[in-house]
Amino acid sequence: MKKVLVILLLAVLGYYTAVTFFDIGFGQPHFVAGVKPVKDIYLAKTVKPLTVSNAVTSIVVNFRGFDTLGEVTVLFLAVTVLGSVLYKKRHAVGERSVLFNASSIVTAGSKLLFPAIILLGAYVFIHGHLSPGGGFQGGVIIATGFLLMLLAYENYSVSHTALSIVESLAGITFAGVGLLGFMHGGTFLQNFLPAGVLNNLFSGGIIPIIYIAVGFKVAAELTGVIYTVLNEKGESNG
Amino acid sequence: MNTIYIIFLIFLGGAVFTYFAGKIHKVLQDILFLVSILVPAYLFFANVEIGQNVNLTLGGISLSWGINYFSWLFSLIVLGLGSLAAIYAVGFMKGEKRRGYFYFNFILSIMAMTGILLSRDLVSFFVFWEIMTWSSYLITIYNGNKVQSIGIKYFVFSAIGAYAMLMAIVMVHHITGSFLIGDMIHAYPAMALSMQIWIPIMFLMAFGVKAAMMPLHVWAPGAYSNAPMAYTSVFSGALSKMGIYGMTLVLVTMVNHIPQGVWFREVLAWLGGITAVIGTLWAIQQDDAKKLLAYSSVAQLGYIITGIAIGTELAMLAGLFLAVMHALFKGTLFMVVGAIEKQTGTSNFTEVTGLIRKMPWTFLSALLAIIALAGIPPLGGFVGKWMLYESLITSNHYLLVIVIFFASTAAFLYCYKFLFGFFMGQEEKEWAHVKEAPAVMVLPMLIMALFMLVLGTFPGIILNPINHGLQALGYADSYKHLWDTSIILNSWGNKVVLQPILYSIAGIFLFFIAFLTWKGYKNTRFISTKDISSSGEVPKEDENLTFSVGFMQPFYRAVEPAMRRQIDKYYNAFADGLEATFEFLRRIYTGNGQTYAIYVIVFVVVMLLFKDFLF
Amino acid sequence: MIYFILISILLLLMIAASVYSIVQKDLLYAVMATGIISLILSILYFLLQAPDVALTEAAIGVALTTIIFVITIRNTVRMEEEGESKEKFKSAVK
Amino acid sequence: MVGTPVLFIAIPLMAAFLIPLLGMIWKELVRIVPGLVLTYLLILSINLLDHVLAHGPIVEVIAGWGPPIGINLVFSALSGFLVVLMEFLGLLVWAYSYRFKRNVDYEPALKYFLMLMMLITGSVGIVLTGDIFNMFVFIEITSISAYGLTAFYKGRNSAEASFKYVMMGSVASTFLLLAIMIIYAQLGTLNMADIANKIHLMNPTLKIVSYIFFVTALGIEAEIFPLNGWAPDAYAEAPGPVGAAFAGIVVKAAVYAIIRYTYTIFDLSGTFNFLIIIGMITLIIAETAAIRQEKLKRMLAYSSIGQMGLVMVAFGFGTEEGVFAALFLMLNHAIIKSLLFFSGSYLTYNSTDKKISEVNGMSKFLPITSLLFALGAFAIVGLPPFAGFWSKLAVMTAAADSNMILIMALVLIVSVVELVYYLRVVNRVYFYKKEADVKPKRPTVNALIVMITLGAIILLVGFYPDAVTGLLHKASAGLMDKTQYIHNVLSVR
Amino acid sequence: MDSTLFSYLDYAVYGTAVIVMLIGFYGAMVKKSLLKIVIGLSVIDSGLNLLIVAIGYYKGGTAPIFSQGFLENFKSVSKMTDPVPQALVLTAIVIGFGVTAVALALVIRLYRHHGTLNIDEIKNLKW
């Protein structure tokens, strides 16, 4: 009964949603006539004043950098909330749940892979303004590196203090750069560094700095998330 | 600063300081309490000039405070009775725990009533009206959790009334763009017919609640009888008059201007008449003096409503005179009951008897008040009722006269019961220790009794201000023609000096009482109710053989079928049904998160389906 | 042409995976199916010329989300319980 | 000018990132710093509001890109008023929850204050932002903090409440994103003023669908009737001060969002009637649900929902008077409901169930708290001379001027219901015998100061409404003037 | 041939995205297990993200990256896919992850408290 009702409701909802998007149209210009979409401005300005190769990066970090600040905050909050929800007085380290008993091949392999993953992650976020990828992607990759280590080694532990210091410093860097821009150029997150040459590593002004900060922050936060959840050994798990 | 501001400041500050003074010293609290009632009362009568308004703007709304002759008349009731009741309250509340609470609300309700009378605009009228409601509500529930439902009933009815009034107020504001009463009166004749009808109805709802008019009276008996008696005298005596005040204003300033006004008047008059009958019949059946007086208040308010609803000069005079009288005698009677309750711990006739020698002064004031209530000359009640009958007859409401006459005759039964139940009868050992109430309590009662005596003899003292008040409302100067319009007095000649006749009647009456008392005193044998050895059967300890038990049993049997259908029950059934519906409704919140998510989808889907209709 | 077939297959696979993830009683498999959805998504993003998003989806959707799901399953129960329990009736009566 | 609107976001974020470090230096700092931040922001907001009232709205661009390109923050009389209100309440909530529970460890305390600060920041962000996607981000910040705060206490059913909230919140964000994308796909912009400027070009069907999605998404946060299943649970299970924050801050932000969309962005006909309908349904259902509650906080929660419904109704009149009334109502509700939550938390401090019967006879043990609770109860049902009366009068006046007589009657009838259940509780507090196993807890000094402050404000507004009406009139005029808003924002370079 | 196929794709991508969303909704609203509900929510997110990215797509467009090759060959930005939805999706994905993590933490808490994941038995708060 309930299922049928839900299916019916969803059918109507789906119909309207689909029709709406069919109206918009796929793969062709869909903006209303007479409207100059901001994406054109973004694309134009990405090259000229910003000298960033990756338009997504320029949007994420500069045009809509405020969103990114909020997004980083969301992750930060998620870690905080996770810690708060799963908080219990810590008894001892090493009581975390083990997903599988890693063989020596896995452990050795992980050890080998770990630096490579970290390097990849760093590369991704340092080159965020030049190529696909950026702070988030790089941060996530680094976090997966830690995840690998956490899974492979039963008593591998990440210092909570270190994580939170990295996280805080990265966050402060982001917000601080924004405030510097505020003091320098009058608006928050103003790009106050020299633009450089397109497709050079040192280009795009504050964008790489912010993306590096974001990378560190995301890495620390996601590692924190995994670590917190992993440490949550199910007590009533019969 | 204008005196009006000073009055309100003293009231407000007095209320707050009185509340907290209890933490310092009890006597200080009493003194502050009296000061914060009596000083404003003095200032009011000494310094507030009639017809002078103060204007102020609050929250973008222009308010206006001032007084005219008509409201001055009611302020006599409020502040006069309020002051006396305040003095009484000091004695009554002695030794009670929550005195600060009581005093605080007492002062506030007096302030609110004064404010109502001073209001020349609807917003401050409403504000003071609501303050009056909640302060009196807070006193009503003074006696603990048993009266919670009674208090809530009172508040709910008041709120319904007040909100109806609020609706009327904002509609008036919508039409006139102003909250001033003067503007409303001015604009009323030009309003659309539906507004002309609905606005008075809504106002009358509010005033009808406070005046305990028939379908809206169900809160009154409980609230009157359960509030502390020191307040009930004000509650029944003055607060209910606010309803009368408002009703008069509505009737005179609005209803008079439309042709349908006749119907308003007829309906109101009949509602008043029915209220009187029902109240009286219920009053007779009570064994508790507080309840009895409460119902009797309802009945008396019925007369008053009838009087002002008829609306001829004579009827208005009668109604307003009765209003003043009612404030006096009902105030006194509630004080009497309070004194008895204070001294004996109960107010039940079937328990307390034979107090006449224990509390003679209380008895005296009760006697005078009862005489006034019953409308026996030479006290004021007679004058009022006389005028009421006459106005009814002269305006051709013969059926209504019968109804009112029935009610007022039946009232004798409970008057008798009250007087006899408490003061006459055997003296029980149980009450042997009972002493007269302290002077602060007796004095206000006696003062009021004196007033009743004076008013009965010289009704002109109060009829003159009423006349002034009515003139302020636009009535012709009727007082000097009063005796012209009076048929019966007219047949005796235009200039009858009433006083000698009344006094001779009273003198003979008193003489007989004195004679009988003196005669009977020698032969009286004081026995307990348990001491009925003559009948050969010895009653058990717990049997209540006070004669008040089953008093007027045949009468109950006669009216029992009519009494069974209480309006109260319908209201209760309605409320229960409503709560059951609510209980059912809130099960929408099933506690299951998925259900809530489905609600979201339902909401979206419904909106999507009806989107062309909605937007 | 290949592009078209590829996209069609991916889309169909995605629907299949999502249905599987909802229907499957073994939560571990269901979670794996969500991982597969993310994987397909990330390929689709590439095809839709969104490499940044593809990278993010691959890292977050495939790796991280799946792993915290798995950890949660380890901490709770693996199999989905049947809805029809006696408790339900009792609570309904209450 | 002493600062700009962006500081309302930047400074708390900075502080949030800093606090874990500061906590390593001295643990007490995690409790103190949010208070300092909120105090500074309150002062800043008052200064800015003062400036705005004198010189017109401040539009701040971020990252140096003018409005259609970059994100901008708008500090007008309306948003300024709400920001002041939120920062003020936030400060009070902070002060109240400082040492609310004595035995809270360092780490939960750190997280509590972080989440609280982010809750306030997110709400302020919703109000300030001039960009629809940015609003989405702030809504998420607010929601996630709210999830965490709801689930803060262990050993109660808080996780259940929070989970429901998460479910609803996820659905909300889905619809919100859909709506945003529909608008973007049509107009190619995300800036509110720009959208408002171009909305007439949009395909009408798509416009309606996107409005519906917006209202659904924001309605979940704003507790509109069929969407508010999470609300009573979350209010009841969150810590007492957080309940106040929900009622006073989060819901206000969500209502602001709906109003911004309805008044400024969309130009649909019928939206006002729609607001009245859903507001009325919300009001009626919530108040009738409240009357049968056995738990104090749930009752307050339903009452809060109902009040929000009334706010919707008032906004639905579509006149400046109606907006004024609604804003007044929002102000009063924020103050009064916070007071009720604050005092109610102490009345049921040591009980696990928070049953209404457990407040019986508390007046003897907690006289001031009880008095303030009673004051709040009287004020919220709109009894004069307290603050609630003026807003009720304003709502009624606005309704009468819009000729909505039926609405007036319904609202007033519902008010009677509201009156009944509040009076029942007050009666219990004052006139019932205390239950034997209930242990009253004296409020801490800071909690007492907070509650007395709120009580004083209620009295102040009650006796002297002019203290706020001028500001509210300006704010409502600002909301009504759509072209001026568009002009203000788009003229900034 | 190609054009008709593409016109089929016009509907296929959006359609799939919507269907995936609906499947997610179904899971979140019908399935009794809390974990299944969270899975459903993340499936909704997947569909939604696909939908958003699809909006930004232009047929024959390139990724919005000004690589050396692009600058030499095209010179016109109109051949680029819309970067804005991509940027938004980036944010949405990260936020979605945060919410999922919170939801899962709550699931663990609920399991500890109730010993079950059946949502019908976790109804202490109602009415």
Closest CA to B319 of B261, B273, B277, B255: B273
Answer whether E119 sits within 8 Å of B601, measured CB to CB.
no
Instruction: Respond yes or no on whether the N-terminal peptide bond of residue B500 is cis (omega within 30° of 0).
Output: no
List phi, psi (to 5°) of D72.
Answer: -130, 155
Return the CATH number at E107: 1.10.287.3510
Distance from CA of A132 to the nearest CA of C (A): 5
All residues of chain C having their beta carbon less than 8 Å from the beta carbon of residue E40 are: 22
E99 neighbors D144 (Cβ within 8 angstroms): yes
B597 contacts E123? CB cut-off 8 A:
no
Kindly list the residues from chain E whose CB atom is less than 8 angstroms away from the CB atom of residue B592: 119-120, 123, 126
Question: Is residue E82 situated within a structural domain?
Answer: yes
Helix axes D204-222, B593-609, angle to 10 degrees: 150
Strands B61-66 and B53-58: antiparallel
Subunits in contact with chain C (3 or more CB pairs closer than 8 Å) = A, E
In tens, the pLDDT along C20-31 reads 998 888 888 999
* Mean pLDDT within B119-124: 90
How many Å lie between the alpha carbon of E116 and the closest alpha carbon of chain B?
A: 15
How do the domains of chain D map onto residue ranges? Answer: 7-490
Please name the member of D6, D105, D133 whose beta carbon is closest to the beta carbon of A188. Answer: D6
CB–CB of E120 and B592 under 8 A?
Answer: yes
Taking each helix axis from N to C terminus, what angle separates D320-347 and D387-401, rounded to the nearest 10 degrees?
150
Q: What is the mean pLDDT of residues B559-588?
A: 81
Rounded CA separation B581/B592 (Å): 21
Locate the chain C residue with the closest alpha carbon to E61: C49
Which of A151-155, B468-472, D23-27, D235-239 is predicted with the least confidence, judged by mean pLDDT?
A151-155
Tokens 């790089």 belong to which residue? A138
Nearest CB neighbour to B587, from listed E37, E119, E127: E127
Residues contacting residue E121 through CB under 8 Å, at least 6 positions apart: C85, C87, C88, C91, E114
| 8 Å CB contact of E14 and A21 | yes
Residue B199 token pair: 């606005």
Interface test with C, best of A26, A60, A85, A144 (most C CBs within 10 A): A144
* Cβ–Cβ gap D63/A65 under 8 Å: yes
pTM: 0.92
Give residue for tokens 């009156």. D419
- Per-residue pLDDT 10s for chain D (493 aa) are 567 888 898 889 888 888 888 888 888 888 889 999 999 999 999 999 999 988 888 888 887 788 888 888 889 889 999 999 999 999 999 999 887 776 777 888 888 899 999 999 999 999 999 889 999 999 999 999 999 999 888 877 888 899 999 999 999 999 999 999 999 988 888 888 888 888 888 888 889 999 999 999 999 988 888 888 888 888 888 888 898 999 889 999 999 999 999 988 888 888 888 899 999 999 999 988 888 888 888 899 999 999 999 999 999 998 898 999 999 999 999 999 999 999 988 888 877 778 888 888 888 888 889 989 999 999 998 888 888 899 999 999 999 988 888 899 999 999 888 988 898 888 888 888 888 777 888 888 888 999 999 999 999 998 888 888 889 999 999 888 888 888 888 887 6
Residues of chain E neighbouring B598 (CB-CB closer than 8 A): 29
> Region E69-84: what's the mean pLDDT?
72
- The span from the CA of B353 to the CA of B421, in Å, is 6
Tell me what ipTM this predicted complex has. Answer: 0.93
Is it the case that residue A23 has pLDDT exceeding 90? no
Residue numbers in A near B608 (CB within 8 A)? 12-13, 16
D359 in B contact zone (CB under 8 Å)? no
Write the CB contacts of B602 (distance below 8 Å, at least 6 apart in sequence).
A9, D226
CB contact under 8 A, A236 and E68: no
Query: What radius of gyration, in Å, describes the C-alpha atoms of chain E?
Result: 20
C-alpha D414/C-alpha D421 separation (Å) is 11
Q: Are B77 and B110 a contacting pair, CB within 8 Å?
A: no
| Chain C environment of E35 (Cβ under 8 Å) | 27, 30, 69, 72-73, 76, 80
Q: Is the CB of A140 less than 8 angstroms away from the CB of C71?
A: no
Report yes or no on E19 lying in a domain: yes
Closest CA to D134 of D173, D217, D189, D191: D191
Interface contact E97-A28, CB threshold 8 A = no
Cα(B214)–Cα(B272) distance, integer angstroms: 7
Collect all residues of chain B within an 8 Å Cβ-Cβ radius of residue E29: 594, 597-598, 601
Tell me whether residue E28 is in a domain.
yes
Virtual CA dihedral for B66, B69, B74, B75, nearest 10 degrees? 50
Q: Is E2 on the interface with B (CB under 8 A)?
A: no
Start-to-end Cα distance in chain B:
56
Cβ of E125 within 8 Å of Cβ of D162? The answer is no
Chain B nearest-CA distance from A221, in A, is 29
Which other chains touch chain E, taking contact as 3+ CB pairs less than 8 Å apart?
Answer: A, B, C, D
Count of Cβ atoms closer than 10 Å to residue D416 Cβ: 18
Partners of D355 in the β-ladder:
D295
Chain B 194-213, residues with CB within 8 Å of chain A CB atoms: none
- CA-nearest residue to C5 within chain E is E5
Chain A contact for C67, CB < 8 A? yes
Q: Give me the amino acid identity at B129.
A: W
Q: How many residues does chain A have?
A: 238
Q: What angle do CA D203, D207, D209 make, to 5 degrees?
A: 120
Cβ–Cβ contact B602 with D under 8 A: yes
Specify if E127 maps to a domain: no
Q: Which residues pair with B261 in a beta bridge?
A: none
B201 touches chain D (CB under 8 A): no
Q: How far apart are CA B511 and CA B415, in angstroms?
A: 21
Q: Are strands D58-61 and D72-75 parallel, antiparallel or unpaired?
A: antiparallel
pLDDT for residue D313:
92
Q: How close, in Å, is residue B55 to chain D by CA atoms?
A: 15
Mind giving me the DSSP string for B95-158?
T-S-HHHHHHHHHHHHHHHHHHHHB-BHHHHHHHHHHHHHHHHHHHGGG-GGGHHHHHHHHHHH
Between D212 and B147, name the one with better pLDDT. D212
Q: Which residues of A touch C76 (CB under 8 A)?
A: 234, 237
Interchain contact, D114 vs A62, CB within 8 Å: no
Query: C and D: touch, per 3+ CB pairs < 8 A?
Result: no
Using alpha carbons, select from B81, B82, B99 the residue that is nearest to residue B90. Answer: B99
Q: How high is the pLDDT of residue A93? A: 46
Phi, psi angles (nearest 5°) of residue B116: -60, -45
- In this predicted structure, the answer to whether residue B172 has a pLDDT above a threshold of 80 is yes
The pLDDT of residue A237: 35
